[in-house]
Structure 1
Amino acid sequence: MEERIDNETVQQIDLISMLKDIGREWLTILLLAIAAALFADIWICATYQPEYRTSTTFVVTAKGMNNNIYQNLNSTKELASQFTEILGSNVLKKKVAQDLGMNNLNVKTSVDLVPETNLITLSVKAGTAAESYRVLQSVMENYNTVSDYAIKNVIIETIQQPSVAMAPINPLDEKRTVMKVFVVTAGCLIVLLAGISYIRDTIKNPGEVSTKLDTRLLGTIAYEKKSKALSMKRKKDYLSMLIQNPLRSFAYVESSKMAASRVRSYMDKEDAKVLLVTSVMENEGKSTVAANLALSLAQGGSRVMLIDCDFRKPAQYKIFNVRDNEETDLGDVLINHASTEKIIRNWNNSGLYMILNKTSSNAIETLLKSMTLKQIIAFCREKMDYVVIDTSPLALVADTEELAQMTDASVLVVRQDTVLTKDINDAIDILNNTRGKVLGCILNGVTSQNMAGSGHYGYGGHYGKRA
């Protein structure tokens, strides 16, 4: 019973992930569907050929027969059928073409026998109403010569005179066709994206961590928007993803605290004080997770140092809303060999201390091999209960491998349904070959019925390709 419920939950989360994948590409779907509709509109207008039809009705009878004989329906139908062949013959068409001064008669003629009657309907279809009318008039004027030659005992009387067609018989339903193309294109794109989402090998739900990844699940963090209300967009604090922000959802805050509690438990078991936090790719939310992890540990009564060692795209100063003119940053200290105390700042008189970066550096290799960095980490190891180091994404640059040699353990932040399983496992193998072996992973941005909130967070920017 429990296994069946778990499977249903996994399927439900997979469906949500699929809908999220489709939702991310809604603009692409819309633009492609509009482009297809516009192309269809242009094609329809360019290839549309209006067709006009003019018709007349004849009654066919036999010569020399009284009215009682005309009531012999079978005989009359045979005569009418023969005349049908005459009106559709090439002989009559050539004569009409000569009469109108045409080389070829580029029209469509049709002769229909009204069922169970001796009535014949002659129709002419042409590109213009005038041409259709002229051809039919010529047929009516010239059919006698052909019919008298082929069938001498036939009398044909017109019972409905032709009139000029007022509208084409194939009106251009442009709006309906364009809308149909739009809907079909959008539907096909949605099905295509759903199929790609289904077959893409990513971590779509917490249950897949144990079956696909070579590490344990330390916790899941709810999917959360940055902004809760448009009225807050003029305030800088609205961007804060810290768990102490009162605008954050209960599910987001509690899931972050639970993940931090499990990380603390495994760190204590491994007697680890220095923890490296990284991800495979950018925009997985690793910097936010590292900040909230350090904040949660500090709220538990510990002295915690948060070090921003992402020298390519530092983000902690943005997360904590630190002014650019405050203090010296880590990069300056490593280059100028300044005192460590100058870069340590306390967060709101709490147990959380921070060493931050504000600008990216081009001398990454020099900074990582600096003895000053090792001394700073050693100093923090001695003075603090826990040290949390935020680093660059592992798959893009080699910085994290060198930093992992200076730590006791590492945590990999994995964003739901984002990175391929193979790439995640490769990152785990790389970290496990360093001193800072992987304690586990934190699945970030998880959407389910048990986690409130929606949206996305992380930071933008671009890293260089990994050497």
Structure 2
Amino acid sequence: MEDHKIDQADEEQIDLLRLFQEFWGVFRGLFWLPVLLAVLLGAVQGFRSWRSYTPRYSSSVTFTIQMTDWALTDIGGSTNYYDKAMAEQLSKTFPYLLQSELMQSMLRQEMGTAAVNGSITAQTVPNTNLFSLKVTSTKAQDAYDILNTVIEIYPRVADYVVGSTQMNLLTVPVVAEQPDNAFRPARTVCKGAALGAVLGMLIILAFAAARRSIREPEEIRRQLNQSCLGTLPQVSFKRRSGAADQTVSIRNRRISGAFQESVRSLRIKFLRESARYKAQVVMVTSTHPGEGKTTVAVNLALTLSQNGAKVILVDLDLRKPSVKKALGLQTPSLGVPELLERGEADGEKYLIPVEGTNLSLLAGDNAAADARQQISSRHLSALLNSLRRQADFIVLDTPPCRLVADSASIARTADCTVYVLRAGAAQVPHVLDSLQLLADSGTRIMGCVLNGVQGSHSGYGYGYGYGYGYGGAYGKYSRHHKEHEEKQA
């Protein structure tokens, strides 16, 4: 029983951690949402406060009440007791007097208006014969005028109820210079902004709770029904001079041993699966840009060549070639677009050898003018068939599946597909759609590579990335997925 409780607590802790990871992933893409809602709701609340604001001015006076009927004096000749009693009685009867038709009609008649622009209140100071009147209005002059008129006619109205009285003013009414309710929108705006920020965070939390992404190797089998060929850890570089090598390849001495070992482990599983599938031409793709497919293709080709195989790496991302950049090569060269434009089926003479390896590249510098037509060209199949005679393995770096249909067309010429997943990036339904698209093309999925697995540290503390730039070539895409193609998770 105790073990079951411990396992349950561990699962809850994992679920909370997973939710936090998803929340952070969504927040990085939608961080602007709470800010935008805070600004909008703050502005709306401020505008509503301004529109509904009505200044209230008041004038007040304090006075004492004395009886003018000397028959009501006490034995000592004082009217003090009766004045207190009268004040208490007046404080009770005053609301009724104010609302009486007699008071209102006399007030309108004295002021010469059809309606009274103000409210009148009265208050008695306990245990005294002190009495106060206060008039509140939207205009300072109206409040002052109404108060003076009330002072003038009030004794006449009270005379009908409590008898003859006399008001002795202790203060003088004045015209208010400032409204009682000064316009202070800061608090209202802050409340609106806080509400907007909270609402934005709740929306992000709802998105995070609904997200289904792949973060662990076992989830590849459980949710995608695919095998995991390997995992690659997060790679970061310290901020250094621009001359420092920041290519994410196993040839870079700054890359950690954890990454090197992960690539070697990928090679072992790849060789086993390629032998089973008898695969020579292998395409590498992903769901979205920024998941590291080019990095996986480059390092897979490098590690196979280090193992003694003759490998050709072909850049078939015709809309955004990036293989040369991933290897840090700057020598001008022709790629597949140029060969297809010329109708050449023999690419051997255009191969670029990578110094110190058995790896050759067929990669250019320019994007294709009409990538869709070239991908569908019969010359592409003939070109790849000619390369089969030149190498043990041909690795194809292809575009992301979810953006364009290029990968599905290329898949018909490949023997197998290695599918790259960036941990926490693509959602499971999107991945399944892309895998189905590839399956419909007739290709076999060799397995998945989980890129960007957290917890493996390379010893460098500054994140880097290459701008993948699918916005122009493939159309607009979400900001979260076009941050950096080569930034490893």
Q: Report the TM-score, using the length of structure 2 for normalisation.
A: 0.81
Deviates more, 1:264-273 or 1:131-140: 264-273
For 1:272 and 1:249, how far apart are their aligned partners in 2? 30
What do residues 261-307 of structure 1 show as CA deviations (whole Å, max 9, x unaligned)? 44344334434332111122333332222222222333444332211
State whether residues 346 and 386 of structure 2, in contact with CA within 8 Å, keep that contact through their aligned partners in structure 1: no
Deviates more, 1:433-442 or 1:170-179: 433-442
2:192 aligned with 1:186: no
For 2:377 and 2:90, how far apart are their aligned partners in 1? 109
Give how far 1:50 is off. 1.7
Aligned letter for 1:313? K
Please show how residues 383-422 of structure 1 align to structure 2 within 5 Å: 383-422=390-429
Please show how residues 29-428 of structure 1 align to structure 2 within 5 Å: 29-60=34-65, 63=69, 64-66=72-74, 67=78, 70=81, 77-114=88-125, 119-203=130-214, 205-224=216-235, 228-229=238-239, 231-232=240-241, 234-235=242-243, 237-238=245-246, 240-246=247-253, 255-256=262-263, 258-323=265-330, 326-336=332-342, 337=344, 339-364=346-371, 367-368=374-375, 370=377, 372-428=379-435
2:32 paired residue number: 27
Aligned letter for 2:316? C
State whether residues 88 and 110 of structure 1, in contact with CA within 8 Å, keep that contact through their aligned partners in structure 2: no
Identity %, equivalent residues: 27
For 2:414 and 2:204, how far apart are their aligned partners in 1? 41
State whether residues 230 and 265 of structure 2, in contact with CA within 8 Å, keep that contact through their aligned partners in structure 1: yes
- Cα distance change, pair 236–83 in 1 and its aligned pair in 2 (3 A): same
Structure 1: 5+ residue runs without aligned partners?
none
For 2:83 and 2:257, how far apart are their aligned partners in 1? 92
- Cα distance change, pair 154–393 in 1 and its aligned pair in 2 (3 A): same
Secondary structure, in 3 states, of the residue corresponding to 2:114?
A: coil
For 2:439 and 2:394, how far apart are their aligned partners in 1? 19
Aligned letter for 2:23? M
State whether residues 65 and 167 of structure 2, in contact with CA within 8 Å, keep that contact through their aligned partners in structure 1: yes
State whether residues 284 and 418 of structure 2, in contact with CA within 8 Å, keep that contact through their aligned partners in structure 1: yes
What do residues 17-48 of structure 1 show as CA deviations (whole Å, max 9, x unaligned)? 21221132223432342233234334433442
State whether residues 25 and 425 of structure 2, in contact with CA within 8 Å, keep that contact through their aligned partners in structure 1: no
Q: Report the count of equivalent residues.
A: 459
State whether residues 52 and 128 of structure 1, in contact with CA within 8 Å, keep that contact through their aligned partners in structure 2: yes
Which of 466, 469, 474 aligns to 1:460? It is: 469
- Cα distance change, pair 235–32 in 1 and its aligned pair in 2 (3 A): farther
- Cα distance change, pair 76–137 in 1 and its aligned pair in 2 (3 A): closer
State whether residues 339 and 345 of structure 2, in contact with CA within 8 Å, keep that contact through their aligned partners in structure 1: yes
Which of 14, 17, 29 aligns to 1:12? It is: 17
Aligned letter for 1:96? L
State whether residues 315 and 397 of structure 2, in contact with CA within 8 Å, keep that contact through their aligned partners in structure 1: yes
Secondary structure, in 3 states, of the residue corresponding to 1:99?
A: helix
- Cα distance change, pair 59–427 in 1 and its aligned pair in 2 (3 A): same
Give how far 1:421 is off. 1.9
What do residues 348-387 of structure 1 show as CA deviations (whole Å, max 9, x unaligned)? 3223221113222245465445565334434444443332
Deviates more, 1:152-161 or 1:412-421: 152-161
Give how far 1:433 is off. 4.5
Aligned letter for 2:198? G
Q: Report the TM-score, using the length of structure 1 for normalisation.
A: 0.84
What do residues 98-155 of structure 1 show as CA deviations (whole Å, max 9, x unaligned)? 4344332111222234456554432211223333223212211221221123321545
State whether residues 49 and 185 of structure 2, in contact with CA within 8 Å, keep that contact through their aligned partners in structure 1: yes
2:447 aligned with 1:444: no
Secondary structure, in 3 states, of the residue corresponding to 2:42?
A: helix
Structure 2: 5+ residue runs without aligned partners?
477-489
2:480 paired residue number: none
Give how far 1:444 is off. 2.9
For 2:252 and 2:287, how far apart are their aligned partners in 1? 27
Aligned letter for 1:105? V
Secondary structure, in 3 states, of the residue corresponding to 1:150?
A: coil
For 2:169 and 2:263, how far apart are their aligned partners in 1? 90
State whether residues 334 and 365 of structure 2, in contact with CA within 8 Å, keep that contact through their aligned partners in structure 1: no
Secondary structure, in 3 states, of the residue corresponding to 1:38?
A: helix
